[in-house]
């Protein structure tokens, strides 16, 4: 019978260097699994760690568990794959590209192939055209920030202090900003501020969740305003507390402090896709008007015929096919508008399903 020690794992025997039950700490998430599961894929990183290396050379956390510095949430799918070499993901799983990177790190080539987007014969992506996360703009998706930028709010807050020195002091500091705080959607904050955003207070926040614990690495308000303006944001509201003196009245120096917030908003951008959609809607409106009046729609062929140029039968057929396609497209749009998406999904019985629904706010 194996006895537990203060390391959190069973003591290994002399013939077998690793215990049968192994505790892993992956990015702060604790997993308990069997040793044969971790070495089920020869040549993988976990197989190398738990067969080729000494047990004393592996990194451990404060409780003696083997530590792996990777994404703890996605590791559950890595471990699930290593149990039976099969991949089962939830419906509409939005982090396939991240999971593919994790599979590449753990050296699981078969899992990488399963996660890679499939190409059809027309060199277009198959069932999942955009496998990347919502905040990542992939070239395969053909998406550009200028074509369809996301709308949203970002709030900038800071606590500033103002010092007025003696009359003889000319170098008194009139404004001092200790820290500029950022509140809003994680993906928008990262898009605007990039590397100047400090995420140490909330490092594992998903891109589509909101946070109020980010702050900037610089303390110049105008620099933050410039970055927001370059990203297409404009200020819609601001508020501030009144200044109150917290120094004694008998002192010569007077110090005031206040808290101020600025709310910025960016409208959604409309690119070429939006223009095409607008033209399609206008065409559908014209078709509806023609149906209501009972008249035959005019086309470019009629104007050409009026100018004395004969219209070939092929051009007439193309025009009829185009009108038929526009009619079918209008029916498809009407059917799509009838689809009702539930506001909230019921809680699942399994814990991982409930965690996934809470993670993506479904």
pLDDT for 43-65, tens place per residue?
Answer: 999 998 888 888 888 888 988 89
Q: Is residue 47 part of a domain?
A: yes
* Residue 145 near residue 137, CB atoms below 8 Å: yes
258 with 280, same domain: the answer is no
Q: Is residue 5 part of a domain?
A: no
Q: Is residue 177 part of a domain?
A: yes
pLDDT of residue 26: 92
**∠ CA(37), CA(40), CA(46), 5° rounding?**
80
Averaged pLDDT for residues 320-329: 86
| Listed residues 115, 133, 165: the one ending a domain | 115
Q: Which CATH number characterizes residue 57's domain?
A: 3.30.710.10
Residue 316's pLDDT band, with cuts at 50, 70 and 90, is: low
Q: Which ranges of 93-206 does DSSP label H, i.e. alpha helix?
A: 96-105, 109-115, 186-193
| Listed residues 90, 115, 140: the one ending a domain | 115
Domain of 185? Answer: 152-266
The backbone torsions φ and ψ at residue 106, rounded to the nearest 5 degrees and listed phi first, read -80, 5
- 3-state secondary structure at position 305: helix
261 with 162, same domain: the answer is yes
Averaged pLDDT for residues 178-186: 92
108 with 178, same domain: the answer is no
Interatomic CA distance for residues 143 and 315, integer angstroms: 35
Portion of the chain with pLDDT greater than 70, in percent:
64
Place of tokens 């959190």: 8
Contacts of 266 (CB under 8 A, 6+ apart): 149, 150, 151, 152, 188, 231, 232, 233, 234
* Residue 257 near residue 161, CB atoms below 8 Å: yes
Q: Which ranges of 153-263 does DSSP label H, i.e. alpha helix?
A: 186-193, 221-230
Q: Is residue 193 part of a domain?
A: yes
pLDDT of residue 56: 83
Q: Could you tell me which residue, 99 or 8, shows the higher pLDDT?
A: 99
Residue 172 has pLDDT above 70, yes or no: no
247 with 305, same domain: the answer is no
Averaged pLDDT for residues 261-273: 77
Mean pLDDT of the chain: 74
Q: Which of 16-20, 38-42, 245-249 has the lowest mean pLDDT?
A: 245-249
Q: Which of 260-264, 272-276, 286-290 has the lowest mean pLDDT?
A: 272-276
Q: Could you tell me which residue, 171 or 131, shows the higher pLDDT?
A: 171
Q: Could you tell me which residue, 265 or 245, shows the higher pLDDT?
A: 265
pLDDT of residue 193: 93
276 with 216, same domain: the answer is no
233 with 176, same domain: the answer is yes
276 with 253, same domain: the answer is no
175 with 262, same domain: the answer is yes
300 with 214, same domain: the answer is no
Structure tokens given for 155? 């709030």
pLDDT 10s digits, 144-156 = 444 457 899 999 9
Residue 247's pLDDT band, with cuts at 50, 70 and 90, is: very low
Residue 296's pLDDT band, with cuts at 50, 70 and 90, is: low
| Listed residues 229, 248, 266: the one ending a domain | 266
DSSP for residue 131: -
Closest CA to 212 of 155, 256, 147: 155
pLDDT of residue 314: 62
Give the dihedral of Cα atoms 114, 119, 124, 126; nearest 10 deg.
-50
pLDDT of residue 102: 92
Q: Is residue 6 part of a domain?
A: no
Residue 280 has pLDDT above 80, yes or no: no
The count of domains in the chain is 3
* Residue 99 near residue 132, CB atoms below 8 Å: no
279 with 262, same domain: the answer is no
Provide the total of helices (H) and of strands (E) in the chain, helices listed first: 11, 10
What pTM, to 2 d.p., does this model score? 0.37
Averaged pLDDT for residues 284-311: 53
Q: Residues 212, 240, 228, 149: is their CA dihedral positive or negative?
A: positive
Residue 109 has pLDDT above 70, yes or no: yes
**∠ CA(204), CA(206), CA(211), 5° rounding?**
80
299 with 260, same domain: the answer is no
Residue 235 has pLDDT above 80, yes or no: yes
Averaged pLDDT for residues 199-223: 88
């Amino acid at each position: 019978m194996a006895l537990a020690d203060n390391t959190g794992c069973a003591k290994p025997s002399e013939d077998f260097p690793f215990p049968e039950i192994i505790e892993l700490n992956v990015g702060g998430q604790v997993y308990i699994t069997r040793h044969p599961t971790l070495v089920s894929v020869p040549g993988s990183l976990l197989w190398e760690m738990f067969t080729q290396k000494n047990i004393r050379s592996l990194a451990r956390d404060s409780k003696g568990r083997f530590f792996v510095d990777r994404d703890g949430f996605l590791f559950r799918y890595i471990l699930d794959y290593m149990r039976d070499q099969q991949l089962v993901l939830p419906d509409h799983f939005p982090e396939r590209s991240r999971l593919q990177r994790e599979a590449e790190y753990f050296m699981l080539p078969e899992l990488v192939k399963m996660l890679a987007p499939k190409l059809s014969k027309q060199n277009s992506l198959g069932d999942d055209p955009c496998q990347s996360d919502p905040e990542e703009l992939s070239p395969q998706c053909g998406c550009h920030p200028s074509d369809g930028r996301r709308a949203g709010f970002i709030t900038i807050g800071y606590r500033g202090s103002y010092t007025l020195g003696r009359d003889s002091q000319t170098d008194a500091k009139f404004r001092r900003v200790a820290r500029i705080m950022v509140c809003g959607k994680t993906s928008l904050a990262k898009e605007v501020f990039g590397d100047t955003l400090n995420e140490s207070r909330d490092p594992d926040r998903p891109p589509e969740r909101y946070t109020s614990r980010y702050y900037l690495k610089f303390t110049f308000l105008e620099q933050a305003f410039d970055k927001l303006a370059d990203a297409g944001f404009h200020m819609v509201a601001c508020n501030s507390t009144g200044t109150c003196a917290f120094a004694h009245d008998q002192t010569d120096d007077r110090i005031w402090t206040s808290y101020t917030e600025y709310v910025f908003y960016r409208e959604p951008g409309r690119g070429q896709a939006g223009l095409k959609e607008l033209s399609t809607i206008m065409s559908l409106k014209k078709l509806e008007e023609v149906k209501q009046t009972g008249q035959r729609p005019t086309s470019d062929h009629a104007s050409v015929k009026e100018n004395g140029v004969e219209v070939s039968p092929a051009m007439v057929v193309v025009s009829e096919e185009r009108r038929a396609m526009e009619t079918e497209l209008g029916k498809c749009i009407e059917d799509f508008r009838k689809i009702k998406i539930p506001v909230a999904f019921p809680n699942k019985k399994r814990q991982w399903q409930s965690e996934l629904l809470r993670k993506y706010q479904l």
